[in-house]
Amino acid sequence: MSSRIDRWIFGEYPARVADLAFVRVLYAGYMLLVAFPRAMWVTRAPEAFYSPPPGPIALLSTWPPAWVIVGLNGLMLASLVALLVGYRTPIASAASGLCFIALSCWNFASVKIDHDILLGVTPLALAASGWGNWWSIDARRLDPRPSPVDPARPWCLALLAMLIGVAMATAGWAKLSTGWLDPSSHATFSFLTQYYVKGQLGPLGEEALRVDGAWLRESADWAAVLLELAFLPALLWRPAFRLALAVAAAFHLGNVLLFNIPFADNVIAYAAFVSWSEVLPALARDRQPSRASLAALGLAGLTCGLVSLSSGPIVPRLPVKQVVVVLGAAIALGYVARPCWRRVSPTPSSPLAP
């Protein structure tokens, strides 16, 4: 049993640094454009709104001073820019993840809890993976000639897979144990009722309102629960886990089309399990980043973050999350139609070879 666990931890999720480096830039860019700043509304919230869930901040009686929220956002901005250009990547990864989680605690202290925790755990899980060893300042500083096929630390991806599996399984169990599968409820399609409150649904939402098939509506409830519960057993075998991610990406697209609920945050976490150098061969070219390109990337990220910090997310009205979900579903379709997410097959000259 011990040897099987070791094989799973250290051998089930191999990856290349070029692939994870793409995920690093994708994650940092997404955060700066869409998910930053965080919890700034807390600085203006009345004390009556303070109702934290169980946790460390429940020990406090009111909101923190404004400088705490602004300071955490400033630290998060610095760590995200460092992560974007790959400077002191392990430290930047840990700092960005911890700041996100700390600010989320305050963000959720008025009862409303969002499902974006994967944005916080992804950089924490991948901090030691080696995703800063390619196309980064660290690559130039530590290794003048990095190789795109250098192996990342697979246990980091195994950890991220486990965290995704637990997050999905707890969501599925909550549905299963609270009557989601009651044949009279049609819980999934109940989200269509927001049409009567907000007057807005996804492109197919109004058409779905006209569907009168009870079996079809109930099948959506079962599909949601089974998919979320399937993640835990699937993570034991990498191809099964990737298939679960592909199905989840298609499921998220359905949520956008029907309910206009974009789970783009989840899709960003799923990206860590894609062999990007197979999808985008240019990533695997043995090239080093120029100082000018890294400086331009860092300056763009810093400018974006400063603008967001002063006036909110820089792209609040553009459907960035919807675009991310659509692209994620398209890549998932490519996986199902053609194994572009197949298990990494090392060559005898590759450092990934056994």
The pLDDT tens digits for 236-254 are: 998 899 999 999 999 999 8
Residue 332 included in any domain: yes
Please give the C-alpha separations between residue 266 and each of 116, 148, 248, in angstroms, as whole numbers. 7, 26, 9
Residue 344 included in any domain: no
Q: Tokens 């997404």 appear where?
A: 30
| Tens digits of residue pLDDT in 104-163 | 888 888 877 788 899 999 999 999 998 988 888 888 777 655 566 566 788 999 999 999
Structure tokens at 347: 């060559």
Measured CA to CA, the distance from residue 316 to residue 40 in angstroms comes to: 15
Residues contacting residue 67 through CB under 8 Å, at least 6 positions apart: none
Residue 90 included in any domain: yes
118-126 helix and 17-34 helix, angle to the nearest 10 degrees:
150
Q: Which residue would you say has higher pLDDT here, 268 or 199?
A: 268
pLDDT on residue 284: 61
Query: What integer is the mean pLDDT of 279-286?
Result: 66
Number of domains in the chain: 1
Measured CA to CA, the distance from residue 119 to residue 31 in angstroms comes to: 8
What's the whole-model pTM score?
0.86
Confidence of residue 333 (pLDDT cuts 50, 70, 90): confident
Residue 215 has pLDDT above 80, yes or no: no
CA torsion 331-337-342-345 (nearest 10°) is -120
Helix or strand or coil: residue 16?
strand
Residue 328 included in any domain: yes
| Tens digits of residue pLDDT in 160-194 | 999 999 999 998 898 888 888 888 777 777 776 66
Residue 348 included in any domain: no
pLDDT on residue 73: 92
Measured CA to CA, the distance from residue 99 to residue 293 in angstroms comes to: 27
Residue 123 included in any domain: yes
Q: Which domain holds residue 120?
A: 2-337
Please give the C-alpha separations between residue 308 and each of 27, 74, 99, in angstroms, as whole numbers. 16, 11, 16
Instruction: Please provide the distance, in angstroms rounded to a whole number, between the alpha carbons at the two ends of the chain.
Output: 21
Query: What integer is the mean pLDDT of 2-6?
Result: 83
Residue 351 included in any domain: no
Measured CA to CA, the distance from residue 235 to residue 252 in angstroms comes to: 19
Residues contacting residue 23 through CB under 8 Å, at least 6 positions apart: 126, 131, 271, 272, 274, 276
Helix (H) or strand (E) holding 62: none
DSSP class of residue 110 equals B
Residue 30 included in any domain: yes
